[in-house]
Amino acid sequence: GVMEKLGLGPEVLLKENPGLIYARLTGFGQMGKYAKSAGHDINYLALSGVLSKLGRKDENPYAPVNLLADFAGGGVMCAMGIVIALYERARSGRGQIIDASMVEGVAYLSSFLWKSDNLGLWSRPRGENLLDSGAPFYETYRTSDGKFMAVGALEPQFYKQLIKGLGLDSDEFPTQMSISDWPEMKKKFASIFAQKTQAEWCSIFDSTDACVTPVLSLDDVASHQHNKERSSFIKNDQGEISPRPAPLLSRTPAVPSCKRDPFIGEHTEEILLEYGFTKQEIAKLYSDKAIEFNKPKANL
């Protein structure tokens, strides 16, 4: 209802421009019991049902930062809705309103949970299943230098290489899908991973299909050989590292800027002047706290 209060609701603007695509991104959506309620990523994740599946055995459900609902179920799904609407407009010439709810976005993004339920993937309590840290071959393990390795050896042929890399004899070890043995197998894997550094484990597993990779920190990710070869991360003129735009398009790849991100309010006055506001009008907006200024200090 915020835009309606400003007199800029979709009905008003679509009357002015019937081809307009008007995206409304909210936590709970434009209607329903919680539509006007405050919330954050963890609340949207909870209402979607997805949060109930996240977390380790005998622990509370765990929200992974605010990536799932805010950015994936919210931002990415809303952007996809805009692209779909643009595609449809090319045929009809008409715009439309996009009701992007983060609850529904993250639920739809997680359709796999519902569609795979009858396969028995989630038949055990949280944290005891194949993909939620229950399996010893789909888990993270601490190394002797306090770092971690990620293991995702789901298929038998990959699991066989994992066992070999760990120096174990598969004939003397429980079978991969012996669920009752998983807790003890996990303890065994943990004790072995703790005997070598992350770099040492990389030297063992990098040339294999054991699905074992280092858990890289944000500080280390850009220097990893694979990421360097793909230029997956870029550095701006301040030396700050960030991911390169993805996915990579063959004919029209994004050209990332190497300049630092602008400060909030850094270009406010400049843009308003371009749009015909007078300095007096801009000063009034600033005194009314409607806009913000942030001029970088001169390096003299």
**Of 184, 215, 246, at which residue does a domain stop?**
215
Q: Tell me, yes or no, whether 254 lies in a domain.
A: no
How many structural domains compose the chain? 3
120 vs 236: CA distance, rounded Å: 47
Based on the residue annotation, tell me whether 206 is a catalytic residue of this protein: no
Q: Tell me, yes or no, whether 126 lies in a domain.
A: no
Q: Tell me, yes or no, whether 185 lies in a domain.
A: yes
Q: Average pLDDT in the 118-123 region?
A: 90
**Of 215, 250, 277, at which residue does a domain stop?**
215
The separation between the first and the last C-alpha atoms of the chain, rounded to the nearest angstrom, is 47
Q: What angle do CA 127, 133, 139 make, to 5 degrees?
A: 165
> Distances in Å between the alpha carbon of 102 and those of 66, 105, 115, 123, 217?
11, 5, 20, 27, 28
Which residues on adjacent β-strands are paired with residue 139?
151
Based on the residue annotation, tell me whether 219 is a catalytic residue of this protein: no
Instruction: Please check the confidence at residue 299 and state whether its pLDDT lies above 60.
Output: no
- pLDDT band, residue 32 (cuts 50/70/90): very high
278 vs 155: CA distance, rounded Å: 66
**Of 76, 92, 119, at which residue does a domain stop?**
119
Q: Average pLDDT in the 135-162 region?
A: 98
Position 300 scores a pLDDT of 44
23 vs 96: CA distance, rounded Å: 8
Q: Can you give the CATH number for the domain in which 170 is found?
A: 3.30.1540.10
Name residue, tokens 């003129």. Answer: 237
Torsional sign, CA 155, 158, 160, 163 = negative
pLDDT tens sequence across 180-235: 999 999 999 999 999 999 999 999 999 999 999 999 999 999 999 999 999 999 99
75 vs 69: CA distance, rounded Å: 8
- pLDDT band, residue 50 (cuts 50/70/90): very high
Position 295 scores a pLDDT of 74
Q: Tell me, yes or no, whether 221 lies in a domain.
A: no
Q: Which residues contact 206 (CB under 8 A, 6 or more apart)?
A: none
174 vs 185: CA distance, rounded Å: 8
Q: Average pLDDT in the 51-63 region?
A: 95
Q: Tell me, yes or no, whether 88 lies in a domain.
A: yes
Position 296 scores a pLDDT of 66
* Domain enclosing residue 201, as ranges: 138-215
Q: Are residues 54 and 114 in the same domain?
A: yes
How big is the chain by its Cα radius of gyration, in Å? Answer: 25
291 vs 226: CA distance, rounded Å: 44
- pLDDT band, residue 17 (cuts 50/70/90): very high
pLDDT tens sequence across 273-294: 999 999 999 999 999 988 988 8
Give the residue, 119 or 162, on which the prediction is more confident: 162
Q: Maximum distance among all alpha carbons in the chain?
A: 82
7-11: long-range contacts, CB 8 A cutoff, minimum separation 24: 10/97
Q: Are residues 89 and 24 in the same domain?
A: yes
Q: Are residues 81 and 25 in the same domain?
A: yes
Q: Are residues 6 and 107 in the same domain?
A: yes
Among the options 40, 209, 220, 261, which is catalytic? Answer: 40
Position 260 scores a pLDDT of 87
Please tell me the pTM assigned to this model.
0.87
Cα–Cα nearest to 29, from 112, 119, 98, 85: 98
252: number of Cβ within 10 Å: 6
Which parts of the chain fold into alpha helices (H)?
2-5, 10-16, 41-48, 77-92, 102-109, 111-115, 156-165, 182-193, 198-205, 225-230, 268-274, 279-287
Position 6 scores a pLDDT of 85
Q: Tell me, yes or no, whether 225 lies in a domain.
A: no
DSSP 68: I
pLDDT tens sequence across 250-277: 999 999 888 988 888 999 999 999 999 9
> Distances in Å between the alpha carbon of 93 and those of 14, 96, 100?
12, 10, 22
Q: Tell me, yes or no, whether 96 lies in a domain.
A: yes
Q: What is the mean pLDDT of the chain?
A: 94
Among the options 41, 58, 70, 171, which is catalytic? Answer: 70
Instruction: Please check the confidence at residue 113 and state whether its pLDDT lies above 80.
Output: yes
Q: Average pLDDT in the 162-172 region?
A: 94
